[in-house]
Amino acid sequence: MMAEGIFIYLAAAIVILSVLVITRSNPVHSMITMLVLFFHIAALYVTLNAEFLAAIQVIVYAGAILVLFLFVVLLLNLKEEMVARRYIGPWPLGVLAALGLLVVIVLSLKSFIPGPSGVFTTEVVRAETNTKVLGQILFTEYLYPFEVVSMILLVAIIGAIVLAKKRLRN
């Protein structure tokens, strides 16, 4: 009961905060809201016995990425952005689609039957700690995807450099 209450609070807060992030006209306000959002997500991970993910969430997203965002926002002169209307065009269409999607998904999930859980039950994870279990599985069973992820990161770096830094020859 207690756990459910916490989940409901966190889930609701995450949705509301997400909406707030994209509706603030002041980018700095958006950023701050996003920070709060990230903390809520981290809290959600904690309730799922995923303390490693929670820590990563706080350190990487809240600590690094958001700070970078803030730098960018503060470096750029975004005065115009603050007065511009955020919603242009047919936003009711989007709301309609989203709500419709929500309804049908919720309805179809009524019959959801959870499948069998694997070897990493909550007890195992608690006993071994999340960090250790994650490390084990990542470097054994999921070695291959892990390597692929490294390629993705590499491409992201190359992309960032190409798009941002490379001088155009003319």
Partner 1 sequence: MDNYLLIPFLPLAAFFVNILFGKTLIRDKSHWVSLFAVVCSWVIAVMTLFEVIGGRTVNRDLYTWIVSGDFRVSVGFLIDQLTAVMLIVVTTVSSLVHIYSIGYMHGDKGYYRFFAYLSLFTFSMLMLVMANNFLQLYFGWEAVGLCSYFLIGFWYEKKSASDAGKKAFIVNRFGDFGFGLGVIMIFLTFGTLHYAPVFGSVNGIVGKTVDFLGLQVDLPTLIALLLFCGAVGKSAQLPLHVWLPDAMEGPTPVSALIHAATMVTAGVFLVARCNPIFVLSPPAMNVVALVGAVTALFAGTIALVQNDIKRIVAYSTVSQLGYMFLACGVGAFSAGIFHLYTHAFFKALLFLGAGSVMHAMAGELDIQKMGGLKKHMPLTYWTFLLASLSISGVPGFAGFFSKDEILWRAYASGPLGHLLYAIGALTALLTAFYSFRIIFVAFHGKFRGTHEQEHHLHESPKIMTVPLLILAAGALAAGWVGIPPLLGGGEHFAEFLAPVVGHAKGEGTHAEEWATMITAVILGLGGIAAAAFVYLRKSTLADTVAGRFSFIYRLLWNKYYVDELYDTIIVRPTFWVAKNVIVGVTDGKIIEGIVNGVPRFIGTLSSWLRNIQTGMVHQYAAVMALGAFVVIAIVLFW
Partner 2 sequence: MKILTEMPDVTALMPEIVMTCLALVLLMLDLFIRRKEITALLAIVIAAVVGFFLTGSSGTAFSGMFISDGYSSFFKLIFLVSLVLSVLISIRYIKIESVNFGEYYSLMLFSTLGMMLMASAGDIIVLYLGLELMALSLYVLAGFLRHDTKSNEASLKYFLLGAFASAFLLYGTSMIYGLTGTTNLKAIAHYLAANGVAHNPAVMLSVILFVVAFGFKIAAAPFHMWAPDVYEGAPTSVTAFMSVGPKAAGFAVFGRVFLTAFGGLQVDWAGILIPLAILTMAVGNILAISQTNIKRMLAYSSIAHAGYALIGLIAGGGNGVASMMNYLFIYAFMNIGAFGVVIMLRTEGFKGEEITDYEGLAKSHPLAAALMLVFMFSLTGIPPTAGFVGKFYLFMAAVAEGYTWLALVAVIFSAISAYFYLRIVMYMYMKEPKAEVALSTSAPHGIALAVATCAVLLIGVLPSGIIELARAAVAGF
Q: Kindly state the smallest distance separating residue 135's Cβ from partner 2, in Å.
A: 11
Residues whose CB falls within 8 Å of the CB of residue 129, separated by 6 or more in sequence, listed in order: 51
Among 5, 89, 115, 118, binds partner 1 (CB under 8 A): 89
Q: Are 78 and 58 in contact (CB under 8 A)?
A: no
Among the listed residues 108, 124, 126, 129, the single contact to partner 2 using CB under 8 A = 108
Nearer of residues 83 and 162 to partner 2, judged by Cβ: 162
Of partner 1, partner 2, none, which one sits near residue 93, judging by CB under 5 to 8 A according to partner kind?
partner 1
CB 85 to partner 1: min, Å: 13
Does 84 bind partner 1 (CB under 8 A)? Our answer is no
Is residue 20 within 8 A of residue 33, CB to CB? The reply is: yes
Structure tokens at 33: 């809201």
Sole residue written with tokens 């049908």: 104
**Given 105, 113, 163, 168, the residue binding partner 1 (CB under 8 A):** 105
Q: How far is the CB of 94 from partner 1 (least distance, A)?
A: 4
The contacts of residue 134 (CB under 8 Å, 6+ apart) are: 52, 53
Question: Which positions from 118 through 157 interact with partner 2, judged by CB under 8 A?
Answer: 118, 136, 139-145, 148-149, 151-152, 154-156
**Locate tokens 């209307």: which residue?**
85
The token pair that represents 82 in the structure block: 């603050």
Residue 114 sits in the site that holds partner 2 (CB under 8 A):
yes
Q: Is 90 in the site for partner 2 (CB under 8 A)?
A: no
Q: What is the DSSP string of 114-157?
A: -----S--HHHHHHH-HHHHHHHHHHTTTHHHHHHHHHHHHHHH
Q: Does 168 interact with partner 1 (rule: CB under 8 A)? A: no
The residues of the shown chain that bind partner 1, judged by CB under 8 A, are: 88-91, 93-94, 96-98, 100-101, 104-105, 107-108
